[in-house]
Structure 1
Amino acid sequence: MTPIRHTSLRETITNEIRKAILSGRYKPGERLVEDRLAEEFGVSRNPVREAMRVLEIEGLLEVAPRRGATVAKFTLEEAKEAIELRSSLEGLSARLAARRCSDQTRSRIFDLLGRGRRALDEQDWTALRALNDEFHQLIAKAGSNRFLWEFMHAMRAKTYWMAAGSKSWRGKDSWLEHEAILHAILSGDEELASLLASRHVASAGQAFMDGAEEAAGRSTGSGGGDAG
């Protein structure tokens, strides 16, 4: 692999390892060895070690003495707790976005709404998936709370990773919920924006939990077939 050169090498390596975990290239329970990662990315061990500390804080890695770092595993109960917390925080994020909606934010929202509607009309689900990330990033930044932004970044990484590979994405329904949240933010309705954002995450989380529980049942033989 071509060596990575960047002004913030730790951040670059952190992002690369995070993407590999979230995409499923590094599996839950898989051991990550500093030397191998350093060789893969063409860097020294130090930025890899620093990246691992960041990802441990985010909950994507578990680091134990003498065993080193492994990709974290999660239980359905942990997933439920993460979804509950993110639902509340997304509500707060949307409330702040409605309260502090600037002209620049309004322009970005109108642009996002237009692109989302075109993708929906064309049934371009790949584009809608990409817009989903942009939607949440936009709301978080619009709220102008750096501490909430940092915490939500870690929470989204955690929940996206939990849902990686699941078939619970709800396509059209999900984007229509996004549109309703954005319109509430544009109108400055803090209560409605907060309520809709919390419900949106809760609904998406419930769809994921239903699928995960069904898969767990199949893996134990109660539903036939396997979980994959």
Structure 2
Amino acid sequence: MLLSDQAGRAAAPKIPRPATLRESVIEAIQELIVSGQLKPGQHLVESELAELLGVSRQPVREALQQLSGEGWVDLHPGQGAFVHVPTVEEADQLLAVRALLETESARLAAQHADEEGVRRLRVLCERGIAAVRSDDVDAAVATNSELHALVTGLSGNKVLSELASQVARRVRWYHTPVARQRGMASWEEHTALIDAIERGDQDRAAQIMREHTEHTRASYMERRENEPVEPAPKPVRRRRPRTPAAG
């Protein structure tokens, strides 16, 4: 029997492959954007990024093209690449979708989480509290992402986990500027969430997560209102020189 005939019977195992240089550069630039090292509206110079990442300009150019298609970078003809400036509307929409996904994740986690899952949540929560106390914003944001990903994983719903992971990195981008503002309150909410999950209280877990994600959304919107992000410069239209009229 041909392999093509067997395709419908069982999915073939995927052969893992190492990340390409371009994929590694994409990942690195995204992390620079998410962490705030590259600011919204900042001009991205290929040669500078290549030197920073220790690569040639070609994979940087390819990465910027792909990141443009994914909404992380804006390409302006004649001016180059700029870090995308999220509009208030797109941030609001993404954070609203995140709230829906993670509220359901919390409800299902309260239904399915075992003792080991709850223990792992508490370890992450303790790590996040320690990061806040030491004013380590990067560690707090990273741990926050780990905790939310674990809650989604404990839901037992693989489709839900996949959808949540698609928006997780952009959520980190929006969360980073307000992490210090949210401070210890965010981790007190996490503690209450874990308590509800441990009790198996689905309704309470969903309510806490819904309110928790709304607090982050409101904090981001308040920051944008008080500190609007400057848009990247508009592309300059170059006019062709007129051809001299025939004598």
TM over 0.5: yes
Aligned position for 2:150: 138
Give the distance between the partners of 1:67 and 1:148, measured in 2 at CA: 40
Contact 2:145/2:172 (8 A) holds in 1: no
Q: 1:80 to 1:17 in 2, by over 3 A?
A: same
Contact 1:167/1:211 (CA < 8 Å) preserved in 2?
no
TM-score, scaled relative to structure 1: 0.72
- CA distance in structure 2 between the partners assigned to 1:49 and 1:78 by the alignment: 25
Structure 1 counterpart of 2:199: 187
Residues of 1 paired with 2:186 and 2:156: CA distance? 24
**C-alpha deviation, 1:178, in angstroms:** 0.5
Structure-2 change in CA distance of 1:74 and 1:45 (3 Å): same
| Residue in 2 that maps onto 1:97 | 109
Q: How does 1:103-142 map to 2 (within 5 A)?
A: 103-116=115-128, 119=130, 123-126=133-136, 128-142=140-154
1:202 aligns with 2:214: yes
2:181 is aligned to: 169
Q: What whole-Å deviation, never above 9, does each CA across 1:123-166 have from its counterpart, x for those lacking one?
A: 33426444323211221222243443333233232233234444
Q: Secondary structure at the match of 1:171?
A: helix
How many residues end up aligned between the 2 structures? 210
Question: Are positions 1:29 and 2:47 aligned together?
Answer: no
Question: Among residues 2, 8, 11, which one is paired with 2:19 in the alignment?
Answer: 8
CA RMSD of aligned residues (A): 3.5
- In the alignment, the residues of structure 2 paired with residue 148 and residue 65 of structure 1 have an alpha-carbon distance, to the nearest angstrom, of 38
Structure 1 pair 95–34 and aligned structure 2 pair: CA distance change class (3 A): farther
Q: How big is each residue's C-alpha offset from its partner over 1:162-214, in whole Å with a ceiling of 9 and x where there is no partner?
A: 34444763212111100111111222222221221111010121122122212
| 1:42 aligned partner | 55
- Kept in 2, the 8 Å contact 1:26–1:71? The answer is yes
**Larger Rg computed on CA atoms:** 2
Name the % identity: 31
- The answer to whether structure 1 residue 80 and structure 2 residue 92 are counterparts is yes
TM-score, normalised by the number of residues in structure 2 = 0.68
In structure 1, the residue matched to 2:223 is 211
Gaps of 5+ in 1: 1-5, 220-228
- The C-alpha deviation readout for 1:39-76, integer Å capped at 9, x for no partner, is 643257358626752x4465323457887754211222
